[in-house]
Amino acid sequence: MSENLDKLLEKLKPLLGDRLSVAQAVRQHHGEEMTHYDVCLPDAVAFPESTEEVSQIVTLCHAHDIPVIPYGAGTALEGHFLAVQGGITLDFSRMNRIIDIKPQDMDCTVEAGVTRMQLNQEIRHTGLFFPIDPGANATLGGMTSTRASGTNAVRYGTMRENVISLKAVMADGTIITTGSRAKKSAAGYDLTRLLVGSEGTLAIITEITVRLYGMPEAMSAAVCPFNSLEGTVDTVVDVIQMGIPIARIELIDDFLVDLINRFSGLDYPVEPTLFMEFHGSENAVQEQAEVVEEIAISHGGHGFKWATQPEDRTRLWQARHDGFLSVRAAFPGKDFWVTDVCVPISRLAECISETREDIKDADIIAPLVGHVGDGNFHLTIPYNKNDPQDVEMIEQINARLVERAIRMDGTSTGEHGIGIGKKKYMALEHGPALDFMKFIKKSLDPKNILNPGKIFDL
Amino acid sequence: MSENLDKLLEKLKPLLGDRLSVAQAVRQHHGEEMTHYDVCLPDAVAFPESTEEVSQIVTLCHAHDIPVIPYGAGTALEGHFLAVQGGITLDFSRMNRIIDIKPQDMDCTVEAGVTRMQLNQEIRHTGLFFPIDPGANATLGGMTSTRASGTNAVRYGTMRENVISLKAVMADGTIITTGSRAKKSAAGYDLTRLLVGSEGTLAIITEITVRLYGMPEAMSAAVCPFNSLEGTVDTVVDVIQMGIPIARIELIDDFLVDLINRFSGLDYPVEPTLFMEFHGSENAVQEQAEVVEEIAISHGGHGFKWATQPEDRTRLWQARHDGFLSVRAAFPGKDFWVTDVCVPISRLAECISETREDIKDADIIAPLVGHVGDGNFHLTIPYNKNDPQDVEMIEQINARLVERAIRMDGTSTGEHGIGIGKKKYMALEHGPALDFMKFIKKSLDPKNILNPGKIFDL
């Protein structure tokens, strides 16, 4: 590859000037995840400024058989942007323009490097907002590529439901637009949904048109501690089954509540707790909240602690989002294994309960947090990645977790994606369908240059 | 092909017995659409009873290079099931079992031959319902294959949003399952969404798991006539932009109101009219309806005529759904050209207005009806398909309609699909993305046996 790489870099230099870097520090920054994966550097990092430039770069990479890896905000959790076969990382930080806001159609087109917080800041004046919130301030490109979701998905859906159309560069450099701005279409294959969640392996997404929503008239958040973890899950199941359009309903186990209290200087009761949010008209919010509080109390909830002021709500959700940081702060010097699964809501109680048993049997610490309205939950496990015994045990816990979720008609990952970490479970989850995913990959990227080594091996 | 076909039929006979027919009447029934397309017969019709049987049939067709065409209720509008290259039609009428209802997860798995009315009948006891309603009593398999939507889509989405997972038979006979029953997943390519809307060209769908919804506490329908067509569209745009979760909002132009009155013995004022429905709690329905009525009156609406009793609502929507039949009844001996497009809501008024101008200039009759909350509208044009001048004029009207919609960032079809009728617009709509659809088709069906000649030509 080295000779090809040299030739490629020679051609990229005049195109990009100092927006192409082979500096160790830059490569390091783009080759290191915040979780347990080993550092894995690209050969160079390019900072394109337009779709046309991405197309030129990909065309050259294609001609020279060099991998291309898209890079957003670097918040991936399963090794998505690690350059496992070397190649050129495309850093989208210079493609961060809001291209078009259409308040009348409640949609917006952005470049792939726009982050979700930037988007919400820049559309604030329209009275609209973009609800998908995976916690981290990820880019829209990254969120699209991993089919991200997060706390609001229970009401607003995931990136699958909220991406309207895409501009993307295919493996040979061709620029395509998928879908249209119509709200629905029956015109051919749904390339938009095929690219959403494809983790940069089928195309490099450069522009995204997303749905926006009217800022609700009223928003209200509440925290409710429970006697037992079972009570929280039973509450969630009832709320969902009653069709209450709750905007957020998040489970945090007692262990994590304790860590969050310490990290954020808060004093929530150290019990399994639901963090919730209600959106709607004043009436609707009150109506929903009353019903949910009643359900919660019937399952051992101690009643709601309200946060109706914007600053209180922000503090509450910041605390929730700092879950990972609070675990990290509590275990200095440790490495962290982060994982998520998702099951049908009817199996959630059983899945969480078996998982907690497994954690208990293994005698490890594994704070549990979940977007439980979707049947999705996470573990963050402190461990020592240089201790082979530790690694083996965590890998087995993770394997059992994934197998349990799949056995319960669920999935190996609700929102983190496959990356390199969960490739080994793809066959178990998808069976013969996996072959057809590979056929599609081969047909769209015959040279396997687009983020190779992710989702599955060929 | 004939020799291959004979060999194939010899092998299918012992498998299917009298569930394989080459009778002229049976072939005729499966080769004739209700719209303007010419009759086009399959060589034989098979009536499989299980996914395994479909797999056996497809395996044999694959071995003998014979096309396979899936057939649901025969309600397609763009030639989807016409055997343009001959072959074996798979009639799903014997695969009409409800396989599994999971009220807790609010989903349901059915065989592809289950119709939407049958489904709603059989799940009635659960208090849940399946909202997608394209008018015709289509099968879930057909609705999935054409990405159907209809009157309720403005609130509940289309088949794209409501199919959770699929069982399907691939071109070589392999049976796959796409997705899981988890509400969300980030595990690999979204094969479910790729098959939804693929019109039988990528796989034969045999089982579908769909989302269900709690029957709303209250439902209320209203009819509102307007001074002008512009007033109806402006009302729709305001309602959508205010984020009112209206369940149905349908436009019927004055001409069609007249025909519906005559066909159904009703006496609606002969003016452009909105048919609406509201779902929710008693309070929510009232709140929504009050706001919408106020908006309507501000745009020249004459006030709501209510239908709150189930039988009144049924009558109202039956009248709406009989739109096509009422046109047919008014023009005995005529042929009918049915078409639909969809545009962003901000362009709807302009698109409808230009279309009406075009119709006026051509001096033809073309009743207009629309799922206008989604920016989707239909024309049903009586004409004489044996008159070349008539045909040419209608084809030009249709072409201008489609080009207009695409120019306005919309799509050549909101819900009818491409079939054979709109293939010619695929390049205009999708540009270079069309090539990648073809790559996918070739990778999944290299022999082009799955409903060949639909969506695009290879």
Provide the Cα torsion A13, A14, A19, A22; round to 10°. 10
CB pairs under 8 A between A and B: 273
Cβ A102–B346 below 8 Å, yes or no? yes
Cβ A186–B146 below 8 Å, yes or no? yes
- In this prediction the pTM is 0.97
Q: Residue A249: how many CB atoms within 10 A of its CB?
A: 26
Cβ A287–B287 below 8 Å, yes or no? no
- In this prediction, residue B326 carries a pLDDT of 94
Contacts B157 to A, Cβ<8 Å: 161
B39 Cβ contact partners less than 8 Å away, ≥ 6 residues apart? B28, B31, B32, B82
Contacts A194 to B, Cβ<8 Å: 189-190, 193-194, 440
Q: How far does B102 lie from chain A, in Å, by closest CA?
A: 9
- In this prediction, residue B261 carries a pLDDT of 95
- In terms of CA atoms, which chain B residue is nearest residue A446? B439
Q: Compute CA A6 distance to the chain's CA centroid, rounded to the nearest angstrom.
A: 35
- In this prediction, residue A359 carries a pLDDT of 96
State whether the Cα torsion B305-B311-B316-B319 is positive or negative: negative
Residue appearing with tokens 């049924």? B314
Q: Which of B184, B194, B378 is the best residue to mutate to test the A interface, defined by the most A CB atoms within 10 Å of its own CB?
A: B184
Whether the per-residue pLDDT at B434 is higher than 80: the answer is: yes
- In this prediction, residue A1 carries a pLDDT of 53
| Local confidence pLDDT in tens for the 458 residues of chain A | 589 999 999 999 999 999 999 999 999 999 998 888 999 999 999 999 999 999 999 999 999 999 999 999 999 999 999 999 999 999 999 999 999 999 989 999 999 999 999 999 999 999 999 999 999 999 999 999 999 999 999 999 999 999 999 999 999 999 999 999 999 999 999 999 999 999 999 999 999 999 999 999 899 999 999 999 999 999 998 998 888 899 999 999 999 999 999 999 999 999 999 999 999 888 889 989 999 999 999 999 998 998 888 888 988 999 888 888 999 999 999 999 999 999 999 999 999 999 999 999 999 999 999 999 999 999 999 999 999 999 999 999 999 999 999 999 999 999 999 999 999 999 999 999 999 999 999 999 999 999 999 999 99
**Closest by Cβ to A187, choosing from B102, B343, B418:** B418
Q: What is the pLDDT of residues B52-84, one digit of tens each?
A: 999 999 999 999 999 999 999 999 999 999 999
B54 Cβ contact partners less than 8 Å away, ≥ 6 residues apart? B48, B90, B95, B169, B204, B206
**Closest by Cβ to A439, choosing from B102, B197, B444:** B444
Cβ B436–A241 below 8 Å, yes or no? no
Cβ B186–A197 below 8 Å, yes or no? yes
Contacts A412 to B, Cβ<8 Å: 187
CATH code 3.30.43.10 for A2-93: yes
CB-CB contact of B153 with A402 (8 Å)? no
B271 Cβ contact partners less than 8 Å away, ≥ 6 residues apart? B225, B226, B227, B254, B257, B302
Average the pLDDT over B31-56 and give the result. Answer: 95
Alpha-carbon Rg for chain A in angstroms: 22
Contacts B129 to A, Cβ<8 Å: none
CB-CB contact of B351 with B410 (8 Å)? yes
Q: Residue B185: how many CB atoms within 10 A of its CB?
A: 29
Let me know if the fold of B218-320 is the same as that of B331-430.
Answer: yes
Q: What is the pLDDT of residues A59-94, one digit of tens each?
A: 999 999 999 999 999 999 999 999 999 999 999 999
| Cα–Cα distance measured from residue B22 to residue B46, given in angstroms and rounded to the nearest whole number | 9
- In terms of CA atoms, which chain A residue is nearest residue B405? A182
What's the pLDDT band for B1 if we cut at 50, 70, 90? low
Cβ A196–B190 below 8 Å, yes or no? yes
Cβ B436–A346 below 8 Å, yes or no? no
Percent of chain B topping pLDDT 70: 100
What is the bridge-based pairing of β-strands A305-307 and B248-252?
unpaired
Beta bridge pairs of residue B218: B280
- In terms of CA atoms, which chain A residue is nearest residue B343? A182
State whether the Cα torsion B413-B414-B418-B421 is positive or negative: negative
Give which of A201, A207, A205, A206 is closest to A80, Cα–Cα: A201
Q: What is the pLDDT of residues B268-315, one digit of tens each?
A: 999 999 999 999 888 889 989 999 999 999 999 998 998 888 888 988
- Domain B218-320: assigned CATH number: 3.30.70.2190
- Domain B331-430: assigned CATH number: 3.30.70.2740
Q: Which of B180, B204, B347 is the best residue to mutate to test the A interface, defined by the most A CB atoms within 10 Å of its own CB?
A: B180
| Cα–Cα distance measured from residue A391 to residue B334, given in angstroms and rounded to the nearest whole number | 75
Percent of chain B that is helix, strand, coil (3-state, to 5): 40, 20, 35
What does chain B come to in residues?
458
- In this prediction, residue A129 carries a pLDDT of 96
Beta bridge pairs of residue A115: A139
Considering the segment(s) B96-214 as one domain, its CATH architecture is 2-Layer Sandwich (3.30)
Cβ A346–B104 below 8 Å, yes or no? yes
- In this prediction, residue B283 carries a pLDDT of 86
| Cα–Cα distance measured from residue A284 to residue A337, given in angstroms and rounded to the nearest whole number | 40
Tokens for A142, please give them: 């990254």
**Closest by Cβ to A190, choosing from B103, B193, B409:** B193
What's the pLDDT band for B408 if we cut at 50, 70, 90? very high
- In this prediction, residue B193 carries a pLDDT of 98
CB-CB contact of A202 with A444 (8 Å)? yes
A308 Cβ contact partners less than 8 Å away, ≥ 6 residues apart? A220, A221
Considering the segment(s) A218-324 as one domain, its CATH architecture is 2-Layer Sandwich (3.30)
**Closest by Cβ to A433, choosing from B177, B186, B411:** B177
- In this prediction, residue A241 carries a pLDDT of 81
Q: How far does A396 lie from chain B, in Å, by closest CA?
A: 19
Q: What is the pLDDT of residues B324-372, one digit of tens each?
A: 899 999 999 999 999 999 999 999 999 999 999 999 999 999 999 999 9
Q: How far does B343 lie from chain A, in Å, by closest CA?
A: 5
Q: How far does B408 lie from chain A, in Å, by closest CA?
A: 9
The structural domains of chain A, with segments of one domain joined by +, span 2-93, 96-214, 218-324, 331-417
Q: How far does B359 lie from chain A, in Å, by closest CA?
A: 23
- Residue B172 has what DSSP assignment? T
| Cα–Cα distance measured from residue A235 to residue A297, given in angstroms and rounded to the nearest whole number | 9
Alpha-carbon Rg for chain B in angstroms: 22
- In this prediction, residue A137 carries a pLDDT of 95
CB-CB contact of A144 with A195 (8 Å)? yes
Q: What is the pLDDT of residues B168-184, one digit of tens each?
A: 999 999 999 999 999 99
- Domain A331-417: assigned CATH number: 3.30.70.2740
Where is B222: in which H helix or E strand? Answer: strand B218-225
Contacts B430 to A, Cβ<8 Å: 176-177, 187-188
Q: What is the pLDDT of residues B95-117, one digit of tens each?
A: 999 999 999 899 999 999 999 99
Q: Compute CA B358 distance to the chain's CA centroid, rounded to the nearest angstrom.
A: 25
Contacts A456 to B, Cβ<8 Å: 188
